[in-house]
Amino acid sequence: MVTNVWEDPKPTALLVLADGTVIEGQGLGAVGHAVGEVCFNTAITGYQEILTDPSYAGQIITFTFPHIGNVGTNDEDIETVNMASSSGVRGCVLKTDITDPSNYRSGRHFDAWLKARGIIGISGIDTRALTALIREKGMPNAVIAHSETGEFDIDALKAEAAAWPGLEGMDLAKEVTCPQTYTWSETPWTWPEGFGERQAEAYHIVAVDFGVKRNILRLLANENCKVTVVPATATAEDILAHNPDGVFLSNGPGDPAATGEYAVPMVKEIVAKDIPVFGICLGHQILALALGATTMKMHQGHHGANHPVKDHTTSKVEITSMNHGFAVDTDSLPDGVEETHISLFDGSNCGLALSGKPVFSVQYHPEANPGPQDSHYLFKRFINHIRQLKGDELVQETAA
């Protein structure tokens, strides 16, 4: 049973599950209600990056770490490219109330930040019990509601939660992608300078934005690449018109099979041109579909910053950041498609490569720095595919 952590005479927020379960708590952030899929995230840092990751569109995030909001928020730790909008996350569930920020980088209280981005929150929840429920029964659909007066139409909220169809079959990439093509040149943050700017244009990468994160684009620019970002619905003809040296398939939300209705034909054409391709998360799943594999909905998904993954190409283990509720079915990989990475938690597929072609992808987020830089070699691996085709000298993938 999931309850609130402490008794309060009048709850100002509810989490109403599709099975009719009503969980009471205290409201924070935006006022209103939103429907989505409830997942849990085990990371102990990076709540601002998590809540602005477009891959979480359509989801309500339960944070298993209790101290969310304690370092405030700032304008630098945002992952969605469109600063004027939310990432699409539907809400957040916390154990404890938000304390005053205690960090020199903080520019705004977490509660005020949630309000500004239209994100509904609920605190005072037994998040351990809710996490256990998700692990036992899977990720439930639910409505999160916040009313300052504590007045709710519970029957209506129950009906809304029960009626929501869920993420299977839902194409959310169109909701979070960029509205038009643009160029990216910002490079990663360094102390004490902050973010930098690309200094050269050795190669040209076209990034397909299914919900791309800022730090992915920064790491591509850091390899002295001109980065052109195109909408999720871009055709192969649109992409090839930019004369790219490589094509990147970004992360994103929703069911890959639904997004694949328009993305898979594009990827098939790009792969046939022998252009180097690199995919991350949803981009990995879309690539797998284009190569003849299938995807499936996971029971509880992988959401956190401590997931061990083995790279079969190097026999090394990386500590990775993950955020996905769908996965590539390993048994469906056709001949000629190699499984390159696996999760050491459950053995699920975490990477693939197309034999004889400069095409590969991973399920996890190498840009999210959980290791902290265990997986940055993948960006250099991508650039080395380009270098090899051009006859340029290869770069070392990992530090000596």
List, by residue number, the catalytic residues.
Answer: 281, 365, 367
Distance, in Å, from the CA atom of 206 to the CA atom of 32, rounded to the nearest integer, reads 39
- The CA-atom distances, in angstroms, between 322 and each of 39, 90, 102, 260 are 13, 19, 27, 21
Copy the structure tokens of residue 253: 């939300």
Q: Which residues of 310-333 are buried (b: 16+ CB within 10 A; e: fewer)?
A: bbeeeeeebebbbbbbbbbeeebb
With residues binned 3-state (H G I as helix, E B as strand, rest as coil), the percentages for the chain, rounded to 5, are 25, 30, 40
Would you say 114 and 29 are in contact if contact means Cβ atoms under 8 Å apart?
yes
Q: Are strands 203-209 and 246-249 parallel, antiparallel or unpaired?
A: parallel
Beta bridge partners of 343: 309
Copy the structure tokens of residue 368: 């999210």
- The CA-atom distances, in angstroms, between 214 and each of 11, 31, 58, 141 are 37, 28, 20, 29
Q: What is the dihedral of CA 143, 147, 153, 158, to 10 degrees?
A: 10
Secondary structure letter of residue 108 according to DSSP: B
